[in-house]
Each structure stands twice: as C-alpha cells, then as structure tokens.
Amino acid sequence: MATFNFKKREIECKIVYYGPGRCGKTTNLEYIFKTYKKQIAGEMVSIDTEGDRTLFFDFLPMGLGKIKGCDVKVQLYTVPGQVQYSSTRKLVLKEVDGLVFVADSLEVRREKNMLSLKDLHENLKSYGASIFKVPLVMQYNKRDLEEEGIPLMPIERMDQDLNRQLKAPCFSASAIKGQGVPQTITECLKLTLLNLQRQLKWAK
C-alpha cells in the first residue's frame, strides 16, 4: 500500500518484479538503473542469495506527472525466484502497489513459470490482496535466444498458460538487450499511478 506524505507532498509506492529463478528480473532492474540514471534516487541495494539476488532502488518516474500535486517516488524491487527463498519473496511482496511478472521463454522453463505465478497468487492472498486487482504487467523474456536456435515457447502459448484469466498487458522482451524493458516498466507505472489516483478519490 502506497505511503502518502502530504506534508512533504510526496507519494511513495512499490513495484515488484516477480518470476522464477534466473528469468531476468535482476537484468531488468540493472538495465533500468543504468539507462535512467537521472531518475534514480540513491544507490541500488543488492542482497545476494546463492544463485539469485534481491535488488531494490528508488526510482522517480519523471514525465508521468504528479498525483494531487504530490511527487511520486517508486521503489523497484526484485524477488529471488528460487524455491527455497519463499519467505523472502513473501516479505518483499508486502504492501506492493504494482507487479511485473517476468516469464522465461525457454521451453524447459514452462512449468517453473506456472509454479511461480501460482506462488505469487498465493502470497498476495495471504496479505488479503488479489492478483486480479493489483496492477500487473506480464513480460515474456529472453526472446533474443530464438536467433541462437534455442527452443522457445510461442508468445501465444505463454499467454494461454499465464495470462488467459488475468488478461494483463504483456510485452515480449530481451532484458539483456533492453528490448521491451522500458515499455514494461512504463505500462506498470501508468497502471499503478492510475490505481493510486483511484485510492485517493476513495480516501476523501
């Protein structure tokens, strides 16, 4: 849940990148951190776990305007995707305002994508939140590997597996090349800020 500080004229919200281990969540955040230097407040903090990482930093979404005259500050987080870090994932998800689900396009990762999405659904439910109500964007990552002859799932099949009921906006991406990364974060920010505006109207 976003923090509204009307004294400072500031709204702070949280967007989390979720998905299976090694799907490209960290690569997304590293690309954003490197590309949007002027919009970053402070440093990127990395909490390393064996084979996976949790990252976070503050991001200032310039050009998306203010809400009720308040500046918006966004905290971008990733979660460690590997199974053994379920408690960390749940903790990072607390009071989330927007989500990016990064799915791995590799054929062999199909089941891991679906298990991770189920994990997200259950973790949100434990906080009394719904995957259908939190602003969500799907990203189908590693599409560049097709050029190397590596078997990838067709976008249509991934959409059928992961997004048939959710009907969330989705983007093809290659996080390592930065393709689809700006579009994904921009869409998630727009949906999140629209949702915050609605919350403010209800709070009156």
CA 202 vs CA 41, 80, 144, 199: distances in Å: 30, 34, 43, 5
User: How many structural domains are present in the chain?
Assistant: 1
Q: Sign (positive/negative) of CA torsion 196, 44, 50, 153?
A: positive
Alpha-carbon gap, residue 133 to 162, rounded angstroms:
16
Q: Band of the pLDDT at 174, cuts 50, 70, 90?
A: very high
Q: Which residue has the tokens 């709204």?
A: 11
Question: Which pLDDT score is estimated for 72?
Answer: 86
Cβ atoms 16, 88 nearer than 8 A? no
> For residues 33 and 162, is the Cβ–Cβ distance under 8 A?
no
- For 11, the domain range is 3-203
Report how far residue 127's alpha carbon sits from residue 152's, in angstroms, rounded to the nearest whole number: 34
- What's the pTM? 0.92
CA-based nearest residue to 118, from 161, 54, 78: 161
Which CATH number does the domain housing residue 127 bear? 3.40.50.300
Asked whether residue 97 carries a pLDDT value surpassing 90, the answer given is: yes
Q: What's the pLDDT score for residue 45?
A: 84
Position with higher pLDDT, 91 vs 56: 91
Considering the chain, what is the average pLDDT of its residues?
89
